[in-house]
């Protein structure tokens, strides 16, 4: 699911509303932490309660063709192969803070018990690992999702700037994921 996230503005408000507070409240994030990783790069973790059954969330996260729609960043799918349960996804991610596009090639595997693990295969990253763990919540009509992302971009952009941008981009991503989950749940009812 190619998570390279950046934001142009570091202190955003719209109509006097603080976007940081608005994004957090709209996306039902119980906990989101984004920080510089001691070994380099960025580490982000989150716990979300999503308003859909676990299968709906799983289907959204493994619908690789439509992945770019889950992000508020310009992203395009350059290649996709699925073989023996492993999805190799080749993404191109463009951002105003970086010249051109960044390439992210990952391999995603479904994990027993509910979830998805994605590891770096190639591109413009030094490392990349994303883990989604999904569990049924509520009366079966919600999903508790634990998210972990560790990545290091091959770039001159300082990690502290990336931390700020990643927080904003993840809040937007989680909000979009929630909206898509509600839409897909309505279609399947």
pLDDT digits (tens, 9 = 90+) for 19-32: 333 333 444 567 89
The verdict on residue 6 lying in a domain is no
The verdict on residue 39 lying in a domain is yes
Q: What CATH number corresponds to the domain at position 66?
A: 3.30.530.20
Q: How confident is the model at residue 98 (pLDDT cuts 50, 70, 90)?
A: confident
Q: How confident is the model at residue 189 (pLDDT cuts 50, 70, 90)?
A: low
The verdict on residue 127 lying in a domain is yes
- Taking CA atoms, 39 is separated from 36, 126, 157, 167, in Å, by 8, 12, 16, 19
Name the β-bridge partners of 142.
Answer: 137
Distance CA 171, CA 155 (A): 23
Q: Residue 141: name the closest of 56, 48, 27, 32 by CA.
A: 56
Number of domains in the chain: 1
The verdict on residue 13 lying in a domain is no
pLDDT reported for residue 23: 38
The verdict on residue 55 lying in a domain is yes
The verdict on residue 22 lying in a domain is no
The verdict on residue 118 lying in a domain is yes
pTM value?
0.82
The verdict on residue 10 lying in a domain is no
pLDDT reported for residue 28: 57
Which residues form the domain of 61? 30-188
Q: What is the pLDDT of residues 130-161, one digit of tens each?
A: 999 999 998 889 999 999 999 998 888 888 98
- pLDDT of 8 over the 80 cut: no
- pLDDT of 12 over the 50 cut: no
H-run or E-run covering 180 = helix 159-188
- pLDDT of 10 over the 50 cut: no
Q: Residue 48: name the closest of 135, 157, 113, 122 by CA.
A: 135
Q: Residue 129: name the closest of 138, 137, 121 by CA.
A: 121
Estimate to the nearest angstrom the gap between the alpha carbon of 189 and the chain centroid: 26
């Amino acid at each position: 699911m190619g998570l390279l996230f950046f934001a142009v503005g570091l202190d955003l408000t719209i109509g006097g509303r603080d976007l940081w507070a608005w994004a957090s409240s709209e996306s039902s994030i119980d906990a989101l932490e984004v920080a510089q990783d001691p070994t380099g790069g960025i580490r982000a973790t989150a716990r979300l309660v999503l308003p859909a059954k676990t299968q709906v969330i799983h289907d959204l996260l493994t619908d690789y063709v439509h992945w770019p729609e889950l992000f508020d960043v310009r992203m395009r799918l350059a290649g996709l192969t699925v073989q023996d349960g492993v999805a190799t996804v080749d993404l191109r991610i463009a951002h105003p803070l970086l010249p051109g596009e960044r390439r992210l090639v990952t391999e995603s595997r479904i994990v027993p018990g509910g979830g998805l693990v994605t590891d770096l295969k190639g591109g413009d990253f030094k490392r990349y690992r994303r883990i989604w763990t999904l569990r049924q919540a509520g009366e079966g009509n919600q999903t508790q999702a634990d998210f972990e992302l560790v990545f290091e971009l091959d770039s001159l952009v300082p990690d502290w700037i990336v931390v700020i941008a990643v927080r904003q981009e993840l809040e937007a991503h989680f909000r979009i994921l929630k909206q898509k989950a509600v839409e897909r749940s309505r279609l399947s009812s």
